[in-house]
Amino acid sequence: MAQLSDDCFAFGGPMMSVDEAVGLISARVSRVADVETVALAEADGRILAHDIAAPLPLPPFTNSAVDGYAVASGDLPKAEAEAFPVLGRVQAGASPDDAIKARHAVRIFTGAPMPVGADTVFMQEDVRLDGGNVVLPAGLKPGANVRPAGEDIPLGYAALKAGRRLRPQDVALIAAFGLTHVDVVRRIRVAVFSTGNELVSPGEARAAPQLFDSNRFMLMAMLRRLGCEAGDLGIFSDEPNTLASALKRVAGQHDLLLTTGGVSTGEEDHVKAAVESAGKLVLWRMAIKPGRPVAMGIIGGTPFIGLPGNPVASFVTFVHVVRPTILALSGAQPEKLTPMPVRAAFSYRKKISRREYVRVSLRQGTDGVLEAAKFPREGAGLLSSLADTDGLAELGEDVTQVSPGDSIGFLSYASLIN
């Protein structure tokens, strides 16, 4: 389990900016120590535990980049086309029988190893055959159409660094090295629960004043997309002592405790008191909309994060608090969220010194430029505003107004939850 000191998240500011929150998490949360070995076919999305140095060069031998005819560069025609006898044939996967002879050509295919002495290949489209000879045009540069050994990656090069979240192309690179297994950080174990007497789980009987719990399932889905093991603890009642004892009980079995709801300052928001009873809470009031009330603390050495109960606020704060915490716990290299510039197709006003995220859909303007259209209704409780849009427009702290035609930053949901 991740073991953190009670003061590791201490922050003295009255309201934490998004960048301060991410920086604090990255600096003070340490990677879990456990490493496991997985088959290469299971490595996609996992966090690499150790550097991988190239055990062989890529490509491992000098080979032809095209189907054509191999020659020695010293024999290249200089002023006009010349005919060369064709002696030998090398297919991919086969070895050349002999070294190339002076003033001769060898028929060769893409990926086939170059004969000794040959270092240039004419594409078959650029030559013509004349009986047993091939007529080669003048003007080809020495070394053309050849892939030298190690051209891609030299022997011993640190091709993949520890902390990389492996992608399909990384898996391909490891396979090209001939490796069948890879060491990865074990999956982060996250306990997820909701709080509130007004909530029931889908499938259970719902009283008239109750709601089906949606946030818990959204958070577990987002966690699994980040490669976590998400444990469903269900719904905890709004009772501080019950909450506190439950948190103490599960803290030692998980790397992170994550809840939604009950972290504001209302009379029935009991999470703050429960966490302070079970451990230590540093209550963050983040300068972000939606989602200002966010709590983080430590219970028995395990980090705790409490997200707002409104689903849009929960989604947005997950991205900026939970996601970097998961990456830090897994030792992953930082993954900065870089908004894509698009054109605003809406008007909006906001407060200065607060970062806001507006739910938008992308469309193509009449001039072909991508533009962002704002969801027509406000409200952090509107699940349809997440389901029916493409992402979030990020409006920085220094922005106070957006007008149609302004350039704004767009973050797609795919970039936020994968």
In a domain, 394, yes or no: yes
Is residue 401 within a helix (H) or strand (E), and if so which, with residue range?
strand 401-402
The pair phi, psi for residue 412, each rounded to 5°, is -75, 150
CB 105 within 8 Å of CB 86: yes
325 and 247 share one domain: yes
Using one digit for the tens of pLDDT, what is the confidence trace for 44-81? 999 999 999 999 999 999 999 999 999 999 999 999 99
Closest by CA to 404, choosing from 343, 357, 363, is 343
On the CB side of 228, how many CA atoms lie within 13 Å of its CA?
34
Residue 25: band (very low, low, confident or very high) from pLDDT cuts 50, 70, 90? confident
Tell me which of 100, 119, 147 is where a domain ends.
147
User: Is it the case that residue 39 has pLDDT exceeding 60?
Assistant: yes
Q: What is the pLDDT at residue 4? A: 65
What kind and span of H or E run contains 23? helix 18-28
298 shares its domain with 230: yes
Percent of all residues in the chain with a pLDDT value above 90, rounded to a whole number: 76
- Residue type at 274? A
Give the CATH number of the domain where residue 383 resides.
2.40.340.10
Out of 126, 147, 168, a domain closes at 147
- Give the total number of structural domains in the chain: 4
Give the count of alpha carbons within 13 A of 252, CB side only. 4
CB-CB neighbours of 104 under 10 Å? 21
Q: What's the confidence (pLDDT) of residue 232?
A: 95
323 and 226 in contact (C-beta within 8 Å)? Answer: yes
Shared-domain flag, residues 137 and 71: yes
pLDDT computed for residue 8 by the predictor: 63
Mean pLDDT of the chain: 92
What's the CA gap between 154 and 149, in Å, rounded?
A: 8
CA distance 220 to 314: 12
**What is the predicted pLDDT for the residue at 364?**
96
pLDDT of residue 237: 78
CATH of the domain at 107: 2.170.190.11
Q: Considering the domain boundaries, does residue 2 fall inside one?
A: no
pLDDT the model gives residue 9: 61
| Residue given tokens 């001769």 in the structure block | 104
**Residues pairing with 297 in the sheet:** 281, 304
Tell me, what's the pLDDT at 13? 57
Q: Enter the DSSP assignment of 30.
A: P
pLDDT tens, 320-343?
999 999 999 999 988 889 999 999
pLDDT of 271 above 90: no
Q: Write out pLDDT tens, residues 174-197.
A: 999 999 999 999 999 999 999 888
The verdict on residue 219 lying in a domain is yes
* Alpha carbons 347 and 367: distance in angstroms, whole number: 20
Task: Indicate the pLDDT class of residue 285, thresholds 50, 70 and 90.
Answer: confident
Answer yes or no: do 180 and 194 share one domain: no
Please indicate, yes or no, if residue 11 is contained in any of the structural domains. Answer: no
Which helix (H) or strand (E) segment holds residue 233: the answer is: strand 229-236
Residue 353 domain boundaries = 340-416
Q: Sort residue 392 into left (φ over 0), alpha (ψ -120 to 50) or beta.
A: beta
Same domain membership, residue 180 and residue 190 = no
Question: Which residue, among 16, 14, 6, 25, has the nearest Cα to 294 in the 3D structure?
Answer: 16
- Same domain membership, residue 190 and residue 325: yes
- Gyration radius of the chain over CA positions: 30
CB 159 within 8 A of CB 54: yes
Distance, in Å, from the CA atom of 28 to the CA atom of 10, rounded to the nearest integer, reads: 10
Residue 9 counted as domain residue: no
Kindly state whether residues 207 and 295 are assigned to the same domain: yes
Mean local confidence (pLDDT), 125-152: 97
Q: 236-252 b/e with 16+ CB inside 10 Å = b?
A: bebebeebbebbeebbe
The CA distance from 264 to 268, in Å, is 9
Q: How far is the C-alpha of 336 from the C-alpha of 379, rounded, in Å?
A: 27
Residues 306, 259: contact at Cβ < 8 Å?
yes
DSSP string, 255-298: SEEEEES--SSSTT--HHHHHHHHSEEEEEEBSEES--EEEEEE
What is the pLDDT at residue 32? 94
| Beta partners for residue 280, in sequence order | 298
Same domain for 280 and 394, yes or no, is no
Phi, psi of 54 (to 5 degrees): -65, 115
What is the pLDDT averaged over residues 221-233?
96
Looking at residue 245, its pLDDT comes to: 86
Please, which pLDDT band fits residue 7 given cuts at 50, 70 and 90? Answer: low
Q: Which of 37-41, 113-117, 273-277 has the lowest mean pLDDT?
A: 273-277
Last residue of a domain, one of 278, 307, 329: 329
Q: Are residues 323 and 208 in the same domain?
A: yes
Task: Please give the helix or strand (H or E) that residue 146 lies within, else none.
Answer: strand 146-147
| Pair (213, 292) in one structural domain | yes
E strand or H helix that includes residue 68: strand 68-71
Position 108 confidence tier, pLDDT thresholds 50, 70, 90: very high
pLDDT of residue 6: 61
Report the length, in residues, of the chain. Answer: 418
Find out whether 48 and 160 touch, Cβ atoms under 8 Å: yes
Q: Does 306 lie in the same domain as 195?
A: yes
DSSP code at position 72: -
What integer pLDDT is reported at residue 37 of this predicted model?
Answer: 98
SS percent in the chain: helix, strand, coil, step 5: 20, 30, 45
